[in-house]
Amino acid sequence: QCSSGFEFNFNKLIVDSRLNQKHFNPARQLASLYIVLKVRVVMATFSQPPGVPSPIMQVVRQPPPPQPRRCQVHSEAARMPVPSVYDPYPPDPPADVPIPKRVNPLRPQPPERMTCVTETGDPHYQNQQRLAMLERKQFHRFHNAWSRYYYGSVAEKELHNRYFREGLKQQMRDSDEKNRRVFREKAQESSVAFSRDRQDIESEQVQRASKHQFLTQYRDANKMMMEEKAQRLRAERQRELQFDREQLKYNPINWSCSLK
């Protein structure tokens, strides 16, 4: 039913089409329907008094529904704490019921004493109940961890995804910090190696200079020693020749055979 009071019965149209299947043309029926609806709309528009919009225009001019400013799911998930990636996963929640301590059946609590007739049924039962509570706690711990993603609320699913995103970011930050630390260590090691190499080169230069100075002094000392020896031998030879000449003055026979 339109705003102008026009009514169209599709069931009647289908029944009429089944009765007159030979003369039924869907395209012609739809064209006729479109023309009738358009005429009704025009009549309803001009039938309103001036200054009053038609019901169809009122429907068209309705403002769109307001869009949410921010997703409430992400805001709730952002407020929920995210466990650290280095903590045990899933985190160990506190027990709903306090878990009793394990007791030793062979050492009853005072004032009772262990005798040959002491029964240990109650301590063993307490230990069995404690074990069942611990197993139930571990089961709920892991079950709630993996079922939160499949059967939890949207906020819990977002928290689950956020945990892995934060874990990946933390691993990337740790890897980056590790690479930076390795780079700093290698740079420091390289600087130490360069400084040590420079010190070795400088010490080698000093040693080479000292060795060159020592060898120069040794050479000069040997040269001086050789010159002194040669001068001494020359002086001794001259003295021998002088002595032989003096002997020839008194004895013409050259008994020493130094003069030839």
Tens of pLDDT, residue by residue over 165-183, are: 988 999 999 999 999 999 9
Q: Give the residues of the chain that fall short of pLDDT 70.
A: 1-27, 39, 41-80, 115-118, 254-260
What pLDDT is recorded for position 157? 86
In this prediction, residue 26 carries a pLDDT of 65
In terms of Cβ atoms closer than 10 Å to its own Cβ (0-12, 13-18, 19+), residue 108 is middle
Alpha-carbon span 22 to 29, nearest angstrom? 14
For 80, 81, 91, 141, 144, the CA distances from 96, given in Å and listed in that order, are: 21, 20, 15, 12, 14
Do 29 and 13 contact (CB within 8 A), yes or no?
Answer: yes
User: Three-state DSSP class for 130?
Assistant: helix
Distance (Å) of CA 158 to CA 71, 133, 162, 188, 206 = 12, 30, 6, 44, 71
Placement of tokens 């307490």 in the chain: 126
Whole-number Å distance between alpha carbons of 254 and 260: 9
Given this model, what pLDDT does residue 241 score? 84
**Cα 43 from Cα 48, distance rounded (Å):** 9
**Exposure string for 35-59, b = 16+ CB within 10 A, e = fewer:** eeeeebbeebeeeeeeeeebeeeee
Give the CA-trace dihedral at 45, 47, 53, 54, to 10 degrees: -50
Rounded to two decimals, the pTM is 0.42
For residue 171, the tally of other CB atoms under 10 A from its CB is: 12
Give residue 197's pLDDT.
Answer: 95
Phi, psi of 120 (to 5 degrees): -115, 25
**Residue 181: its pLDDT value, please?**
96
